[in-house]
């Protein structure tokens, strides 16, 4: 702990020396880049290590400035290393993200000789992105779509690693830096920590700037649309300073640029200042954690790209299997707009599509179509059918999943007990473990070390990493199931109210 504190102080001094500062006073001399507006602090229940306000901060106030020369980019790494520059120039077929990954591993291989060493030693040793999930953690997600996303992320990472292999060999990287595990680490670092810059689609690593933890978009940025909202054929996303979000936004058709430019309040690279400037996204009191918004993500997307999820995420979406014939009617709305909000309410597009689908084809005249596209109820009986269908479909999905909400709650509780070295499990508790917990203990050969003797349990690091990812899988699927359960409750309530009007 003392060593970690010392290396953090070294990093903050190094950052100050290269011009990183949380003060607008450029003449201010300090042995730390922080102290005027921010300080490093631990938030165990809110993201771990982060930044807290050391004074009152006002919304829109500059809280951190990182000059261009302090940004870790492909450009900055190859500029002072001819060997790296020559090797990179011979591999134009690699993506900018692959090149940045190789450059990062190359700098890591230099150890203390790297200019970036004070920063690199503070990067996480492990990540919990989906691409890092093993078979056990992947299957623990239970939902087919989530398992597929995980497999796709892992396959993409493996493919990119193989493609970059020749470049890594030409740079004479030590075997451990050429391994797939090293590539997973570099890829996860870039996915979860890079910020957008205009001259490189791979983005940049921003020393000190990546200490901010995540804040989901507020209600003013949330385009949540229920059945009663005005029709919307696309889902505009609030702008994000993260490189991933900017890359995704560039690919989206119909992007509302005007809305985005107004909402880029957290920061970005400013040409006039020749620096990355980060701003307070709201007012903060002394001692509060200062957060940045990475963009609008579902919980599965947060897991895929950042390695965490939120208990309360107004941007989360639950997708359920739908009949093929239903999709053919949803041509006015993209498939990804047919979902259930985290609070259990079906999306506007999903309700509208079901309203039309449940009308006999011979009765789908112009008047019905106008009501559908206006987001209006076709009839009370039709609306009852919609709510009944939704309720039954959600119930069917829940019943077909291997575990229930209550079983997942108990499993999370037991995982938390395993992760807490201060808690000694009694033998009768372990005897009551479910099959999934037993499978985890079997895979990791932990039955003999789970604390019957009264001593603190110390699991191997690999086991602790696996347990953390497994917990995220259970946490995600539990959130998924709760949304389905909330949807059943919502639809049944609506159905009962509608039946009351018929009486």
Bridge partner list, 194: 205
Task: Give pLDDT tens digits for 342-376.
Answer: 999 999 999 999 999 999 988 988 899 899 888 88
The β-bridge relationship of strands 340-341 and 194-197 is unpaired
Q: Which two tokens stand for residue 385?
A: 């059918």
Task: Give pLDDT tens digits for 177-202.
Answer: 999 999 999 999 999 999 999 999 99
Q: Is 3 exposed, middle or buried (0-12, 13-18, 19+ CB in 10 A)?
A: exposed
Does residue 75 fall inside a structural domain? no
Residue in 317, 271, 492 with CA at minimum distance from that of residue 389: 492
Split into its structural domains, the chain has a count of: 1
Rg of the Cα atoms in the chain: 25
Complete DSSP assignment for 220-260:
GG-----TTSPP-SS------SBHHHHHHHHH-TT--HHHH
Task: Give pLDDT tens digits for 385-419.
Answer: 999 999 999 999 999 999 999 999 999 998 988 88
Task: Give pLDDT tens digits for 33-43.
Answer: 999 999 999 99
- pLDDT at 218 (0 to 100): 64
- pLDDT at 246 (0 to 100): 55
Query: Does the structure show a pLDDT above 50 at 175?
Result: yes
Does residue 4 fall inside a structural domain? no
Does residue 71 fall inside a structural domain? no
Does residue 94 fall inside a structural domain? no
Helix (H) or strand (E) holding 318: strand 317-318
In this prediction the pTM is 0.87
pLDDT bucket at 120, cuts 50 / 70 / 90: very high
Query: Does the structure show a pLDDT above 50 at 328?
Result: yes
Residues of the chain with pLDDT > 70, as a percent, come to: 84
More confident residue, 64 or 242: 64
- pLDDT at 265 (0 to 100): 55
Distance (Å, whole) CA 449 – CA 76: 48
Does residue 351 fall inside a structural domain? yes
What would the mean pLDDT of 246-265 be, rounded to a whole number? 41
Distance (Å, whole) CA 246 – CA 203: 10
Distances (CA, A) of 247 to 151, 239, 295, 316, 365: 22, 11, 12, 20, 42
Query: Does the structure show a pLDDT above 50 at 281?
Result: yes
Does residue 493 fall inside a structural domain? yes
What would the mean pLDDT of 123-139 be, rounded to a whole number? 96
Query: Does the structure show a pLDDT above 80 at 272?
Result: yes
- pLDDT at 237 (0 to 100): 31
- pLDDT at 248 (0 to 100): 53
Residue 14 CB neighbours (<10 A): 19
Q: How confident is the prediction for the chain on average, in pLDDT?
A: 86
Does residue 87 fall inside a structural domain? no
Spatial strand order in the sheet of 62-67: 62-67, 275-279, 267-270
Does residue 490 fall inside a structural domain? yes
Are the beta carbons of 226 and 347 closer than 8 angstroms? yes
| CATH number, position 356 | 3.90.1420
Q: Cβ neighbours of residue 444 under 8 Å, at least 6 residues apart? A: 459, 460, 463, 466
Place of tokens 């389905």: 484
pLDDT bucket at 428, cuts 50 / 70 / 90: low
What would the mean pLDDT of 433-456 be, rounded to a whole number? 71
Query: Does the structure show a pLDDT above 70 at 423?
Result: no
Cα 317–chain centre separation: 13
Complete DSSP assignment for 426-445:
PHHHHHT--HHHHHHHHHTT
Report the chain's terminal Cα–Cα distance, integer Å.
Answer: 69
- pLDDT at 502 (0 to 100): 78
Task: Give pLDDT tens digits for 203-250.
Answer: 999 999 999 998 888 644 444 454 334 322 222 233 335 666 555 544
Query: Does the structure show a pLDDT above 50 at 256?
Result: no
Note down the domain range covering 346.
Answer: 316-502
Place of tokens 């709760």: 482
- pLDDT at 7 (0 to 100): 83
């Amino acid at each position: 702990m003392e060593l970690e504190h010392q290396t953090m102080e070294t990093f903050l001094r190094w950052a100050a020396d290269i011009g990183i500062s949380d003060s607008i006073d450029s003449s201010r001399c300090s042995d730390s880049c922080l102290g005027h507006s921010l300080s490093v602090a631990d938030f165990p229940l809110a993201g771990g290590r982060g930044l807290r306000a050391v004074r009152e901060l006002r919304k829109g106030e500059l809280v951190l400035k990182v000059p261009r020369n302090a940004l870790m980019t492909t450009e900055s790494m190859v500029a002072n290393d001819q060997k790296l520059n020559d090797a990179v120039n011979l591999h134009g077929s690699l993506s900018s993200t692959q090149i940045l990954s190789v450059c990062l591993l190359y700098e890591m291989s230099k150890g203390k000789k790297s200019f970036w060493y004070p920063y690199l030693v503070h990067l996480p040793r492990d990540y919990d992105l989906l691409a890092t999930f093993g078979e056990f953690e992947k299957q623990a997600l239970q939902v087919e779509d989530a398992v597929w996303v995980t497999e796709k992320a892992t396959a993409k990472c493996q493919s990119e690693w193989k493609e970059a292999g020749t470049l890594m060999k030409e740079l004479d990287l030590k075997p451990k830096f050429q391994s797939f595990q090293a590539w997973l680490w570099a890829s996860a670092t870039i996915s979860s920590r890079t910020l957008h810059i205009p001259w490189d689609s791979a983005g940049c690593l921003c020393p000190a700037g990546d200490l901010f933890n995540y804040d989901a978009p507020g209600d003013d940025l949330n385009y949540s649309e229920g059945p009663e909202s005005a029709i919307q054929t696309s889902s505009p996303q609030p702008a994000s300073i993260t490189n991933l979000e900017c890359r995704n936004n560039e690919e989206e058709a119909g992007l509302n640029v005007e809305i985005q430019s107004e909402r880029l309040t957290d920061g970005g690279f400013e040409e006039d200042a020749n620096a990355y400037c980060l701003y307070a996204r709201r007012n903060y009191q002394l001692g509060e954690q200062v957060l940045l918004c990475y963009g609008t993500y579902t919980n599965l997307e947060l897991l895929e790209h950042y390695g965490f999820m939120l208990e309360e995420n107004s941007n989360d979406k639950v997708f359920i299997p739908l009949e093929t014939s239903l999709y053919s009617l949803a041509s006015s709305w993209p498939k990804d707009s047919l979902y259930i909000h985290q609070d259990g309410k079906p999306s506007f597009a999903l309700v509208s599509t079901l309203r039309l689908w449940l009308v006999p084809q011979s009765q789908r005249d112009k008047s019905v179509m106008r009501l559908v596209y206006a987001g209006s109820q076709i009839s009370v009986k039709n609306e009852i059918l919609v709510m009944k269908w939704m309720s039954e479909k959600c119930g069917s999905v829940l019943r077909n999943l291997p575990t229930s909400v209550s079983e997942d709650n108990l499993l999370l509780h037991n995982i938390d007990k395993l992760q807490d070295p201060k808690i000694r499990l009694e033998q009768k508790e372990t005897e009551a473990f479910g099959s999934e917990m037993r499978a985890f203990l079997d895979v990791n050969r932990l039955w003999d070390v789970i604390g019957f003797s009264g001593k603190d349990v110390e699991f191997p690091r690999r086991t602790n990493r696996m347990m953390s990812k497994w917990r995220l899988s259970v946490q995600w699927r539990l959130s998924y199931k709760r949304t389905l359960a909330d949807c059943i409750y919502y639809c049944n309530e609506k159905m009962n109210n509608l039946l009351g009007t018929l009486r």
